[in-house]
Amino acid sequence: MRVLIAPDAFGSTLGPVQTATALGEGWAEGAPHDDLRLLPLSAGGPGFLDVLERAVGGTTVATTVSDPLGRDVPAAVLLVDEPDRRTAYLEASQASGLHLLSADERDPALTSTWGVGQLLETALQEGAGRIVVGVGGGATNDAGAGLLAALGAGPASALARGGLALRDAGADALAGLPDVVERFAAVEIVLATDDLIPLLGLSGTSAVDAPGKGATPQTAQDLEGALGHFTDLLTRALPHPPLDLLTGAPRRLDREPGAGAAGGLGYALLALGARQAGAVSEVLRVTGFDVAAAGSDLVVTATGRLDWTAVRGSVVSGVAEATMATGRPAVVVAGELLVGRRETMSMGLAGCYAVADHPREVEAMVADPVATLRARAARVARTWSPAR
């Protein structure tokens, strides 16, 4: 049997490539007669660049950027030369990822996206005519203010001290924004995310995502106010605000789908002229997933946690939908399975298998994710591909 193994990252412990390798080793143990192909995928978070480099090659430019607290960390820009332009792929989490902070350092009131701006600057200096920014797994909630400061839109003292400090930003804090927008005017920027939440409001980034990054309810409320003040400043500083095609009135960028992605990082990119595109669909396209799935008898994907948030806009849902179009079955191996059969059937999955069903198994999975994932993959392989 021809099996395509196309997983996302396995939580925060294994990246997509490591997950695919562990699944492949387990499957080979359970069904050694099968023909396996590994095709790791990503939703724009950690591992985004590894997945794309594996698929399309290109040139990796190593650099050093600031992490969410201003410390130097290694990062990279992937450059792919196309017939008519150079595309740069960026992984925002290399500079702003939650995984860069210890548990007691996580505070979205203080963290900054300055390092993501440094990645954009590197891509621009390398001659990119198209910049694709994968966002996800971020530790920030500053509406991309740090990113804009790193590009020269305003002083770091006002914009790069975290989201909460934005409430004190003065009227001239974004005086350099017109020049920054002009520098990127000829560059196509793609905000690669499937997180379509707005910046502000009850369904905005401060209310929905900040608590998972360490914010208390009061901090989340304070961040909402600070980001509201920042949007007022940016709206006044933006030289040519985009217009609604129907009404001709200026569009509210803070209400655009994806503006709240990665703590509002999407908002700053939209201000630079970015267009939003699904990260999963972009990765599926670049990796040639449709062709690979059509040439397989079974597709196996994986994720660390399959809950209601993964029903749409995730690698699992993207794989299930694309595989269904080929008429092939798709199954998922999840660290934890927190949705019922009705939800998984609606996604188009033919089978769902949890690595951990009980607290004791969760502890074992966290202690040794590779071994537990391999063992589960071997059992699933014996179910779907019995020995000859």
Helix runs in the chain, H state only: 16-30, 48-56, 93-96, 114-125, 145-150, 156-159, 177-183, 205-208, 217-237, 261-271, 279-287, 289-294, 315-326, 341-347, 359-367, 369-384
In the chain the domains, ranked by start, together with CATH numbers, are 2-40+288-384 (3.40.50.10350), 48-280 (3.90.1510.10)
pLDDT in tens, the chain (388 residues): 999 999 999 987 899 999 999 999 999 999 999 999 999 999 999 999 999 999 999 999 999 999 999 999 999 999 999 999 999 999 999 999 999 999 999 999 999 999 999 999 999 999 999 999 999 889 999 999 999 999 999 999 999 999 999 999 999 999 999 999 999 999 999 999 999 999 999 999 999 999 999 999 999 999 999 999 999 999 999 987 777 667 777 788 999 999 999 999 999 999 999 999 999 999 999 999 999 999 999 999 999 888 888 888 899 999 999 999 999 999 999 988 888 888 888 889 999 999 877 667 776 777 788 999 999 999 999 999 877 6
**How many other CB atoms sit within 10 Å of the CB of residue 218?**
8
β-pairing verdict for 59-66 and 72-81: antiparallel
Task: Provide the 10 A C-beta neighbour count for residue 82.
Answer: 10
CA atoms of 316 and 313, how far apart (whole Å): 8
Distances (CA, A) of 184 to 176, 188, 253, 315: 13, 8, 17, 30
Element (H, E) at 298: strand 298-306
